[in-house]
Structure 1
Amino acid sequence: MDAAKLDAIDIHVHAEVSCHDPEDPIFAEFADAATKYFKADRRRPTIPETIAHYRAANIGFVMFTVDMEAGTGIKRIRNEEIAEAAAANNDIMIAFASIDPHKGKRGAIEARDLIEKHDVKGFKFHPPLQNFDPADPIAWPLYEVIDHYGLPAIFHTGHSGMGTGMPGGGGIRLKYGQPILVDEVAVRFPNIRIILAHPGWPWTDESLSMALHKPNVFIDLSGWSPKYFPPQIVKYANSQLGHKFLFGSDFPLIPPDRWIAAYDEAGFKPELREKILKGNAAKLLGL
């Protein structure tokens, strides 16, 4: 991927449709609720359709699924499926992997193989959906692999659109989305470039504090239209943390063009546009 040839880099794109397996019936229930919450199209794009969408927009992107088999029972999309698509489209696409931390050492072995054999460039964690505290030692075998290779890891933080409106929130515990829980990971594994996904509401200030305090902590701004950002996001971007924010859409629930249009009206300093939309991600990803 040549960042100089791209208009932006979207650090947060989901694969929700397998090219090989039918939609999981449990996932269908969550997808129905998320569609209502985000006012999105219920039909989710395939991986090839997503690639075509981003290629037409000249936007590079990082794609991943979420392995939440222990927390929800939803059958995951195979990490190899995403990695293969990225290898065939590496001018526009980067693959991150997702492994349920409950898989322990077996998961750590899988992580190593994905890095060495499939050129995976990072990892995605969603503690509320995966039903784990990010600081729980259950995840340390995975973190040790990621730290060893010095790769980035995205952690969902804040409210979860997945499960919103479902009975009992779909069994999703919001407490695991509290950003400060990831602080322990940042301390123990300083070679992991940690990306706190989303503005982190209702704990936004925790994310900002961590990004200010820890050199290895960044924030992606996915999952929300910028017009709805808590005001301190724009305040800190325009002052101390402009180098720590990354463009992320949460596609397919939020299209990148809609996010960028809202960003341009949200009050960020003009000189930050290139950094947030592309430059900060290019540096973090080593492009």
Structure 2
Amino acid sequence: MRAIDMHVHPGTREYLVDAGGKYLSDALHYFHRHDAVVSIEEMAAYYRRLDMMGVLLAWDAETHTGLPPVTNDYVAGIVQKYPDVFIGFAGVDPWKGALAVRELERAVKALGLRGLKCHPIIQAFYPNDRKFYPLWECCEGLKIPLLLHTGTTGVGAGVPGGNGLKLKYARPIPCIDDIAADFPNLTIIGAHPSWPWQEEMLAIAVHKTNVYIDLSGWSPKYFPPSLVQHANSLLQDRVLFGSDYPFLTPERWIADFEKAGFKPAVWEKILFGNAKRLLGL
């Protein structure tokens, strides 16, 4: 296997149109991906051709957006149909409280999903608000990783008011730093280079060994030198390849990665080894 893509969204109508509404329509426009909608069969064939596995991520942002969620049953059904291609993470709406905790337990224990993804900007919540700590306690108890969006987002980018979305929810300090300190046995993945707070995310990951960084959503040719430097040295065991498919394709990402100054000695770790170890494959 060539790589494990840690950040993959279903390129299907159920995610991009039904659950995404105006938010993902604008994101596709921002990334110039106007023809991105495919069937799950086409998506699976694409990842097989690339000799990659993909970690599927969806969302439940119903409280803030009013849009229907992409259900965990939908994600699990894709994984069950294509277990050689996809691994699934759960998605819950943190504002649903005890219902979200129960749904996360069901998604992991009954459906076999392997982690939790939350998007603080689209879900409009501060992850370090203690009202949401029962979710992180549940993740810790289930021994699954928590993946949190960090930094700016293509969702709402380039439109007046950003579709009402607020970037403040995705600042690594204090949000990720607080959770990592309060849950030392919880593996936390900060999704994306965390611009404009990249240095904060690097500092957290250096300071706290339960924190990883996935590099999705940006072409590596735009990575700041400090990110490449840390991935080549102190953080080489906790940096993960992710594309952010369908917004950025893995082919584009890897082509730029190979020219971005990463040491060949760490390529295998970033593309495959670190994810394999984190997921317990």
- TM bin, normalised by shorter chain, reads over 0.9
1:14-33 residue CA offsets vs partner (Å, 9 max, x unmatched) = 125356x9933x83322332
**Which residue pairs with 2:274 in the alignment?**
280
Please state how far the C-alpha of 1:48 moved relative to its aligned partner: 2.8
Root-mean-square deviation (Å): 1.6
**Which residue pairs with 1:199 in the alignment?**
193
1:210 correspondence with 2:204: yes
1:51-82 residue CA offsets vs partner (Å, 9 max, x unmatched) = 22111111011001111111222211111111
**Which residue pairs with 2:120 in the alignment?**
127
CA distance in 2, matches of 1:18, 1:114: 22
Gaps of 5+ in 1: 1-5
Q: What residue identity is the alignment partner of 2:187? A: R
CA distance in 2, matches of 1:149, 1:213: 24
Q: What residue identity is the alignment partner of 2:131? A: I
Q: How does 1:152-171 map to 2 (within 5 A)?
A: 152-171=145-164
Q: Which of the residues 216, 219, 223 maps onto 2:217?
A: 223
CA distance in 2, matches of 1:16, 1:100: 21
- Asked if structure 1 preserves the Cα contact closer than 8 Å seen for 2:21 and 2:67, the reply is no
Q: What residue identity is the alignment partner of 1:176? A: Y
Q: How does 1:28-47 map to 2 (within 5 A)?
A: 28-47=21-40
**Which residue pairs with 1:71 in the alignment?**
64
Give the SS at the match of 2:20: helix
- Asked if structure 2 preserves the Cα contact closer than 8 Å seen for 1:18 and 1:77, the reply is no
**Which residue pairs with 2:165 in the alignment?**
172
Q: What residue identity is the alignment partner of 1:116? A: K
Please state how far the C-alpha of 1:138 moved relative to its aligned partner: 2.5
1:255 correspondence with 2:252: no
Q: What residue identity is the alignment partner of 1:120? A: L
- Asked if structure 1 preserves the Cα contact closer than 8 Å seen for 2:16 and 2:24, the reply is no
**Which residue pairs with 1:3 in the alignment?**
none
CA distance in 2, matches of 1:8, 1:16: 19
Q: What residue identity is the alignment partner of 1:33? A: D
Please state how far the C-alpha of 1:212 moved relative to its aligned partner: 0.5
1:140 correspondence with 2:159: no
- The normalised TM-score by structure 1 is 0.93
CA distance in 2, matches of 1:161, 1:261: 21
* More displaced stretch, 175-184 vs 45-54: 45-54
Give the SS at the match of 1:54: helix
CA distance in 2, matches of 1:22, 1:89: 20
1:243 correspondence with 2:246: no
**Which residue pairs with 2:89 in the alignment?**
96
**Which residue pairs with 1:7 in the alignment?**
2
1:71-109 residue CA offsets vs partner (Å, 9 max, x unmatched) = 222211111111121122222210001101001011101
CA distance in 1, matches of 2:204, 2:16: 40
- The normalised TM-score by structure 2 is 0.95
* More displaced stretch, 157-166 vs 219-228: 157-166
Gaps of 5+ in 2: none
**Which residue pairs with 1:269 in the alignment?**
263
Please state how far the C-alpha of 1:42 moved relative to its aligned partner: 4.1
CA distance in 2, matches of 1:266, 1:22: 30
Q: Which of the residues 80, 96, 106 maps onto 1:113?
A: 106
- Asked if structure 2 preserves the Cα contact closer than 8 Å seen for 1:148 and 1:191, the reply is no
CA distance in 2, matches of 1:108, 1:57: 35
Distance 1:141 1:47, change over 3 A: farther
Distance 1:86 1:23, change over 3 A: same
CA distance in 2, matches of 1:155, 1:120: 16
* More displaced stretch, 160-169 vs 214-223: 160-169
Q: Alignment identity in percent?
A: 44
**Which residue pairs with 2:48 in the alignment?**
55
- Asked if structure 2 preserves the Cα contact closer than 8 Å seen for 1:9 and 1:277, the reply is yes
Q: What residue identity is the alignment partner of 2:100? A: G
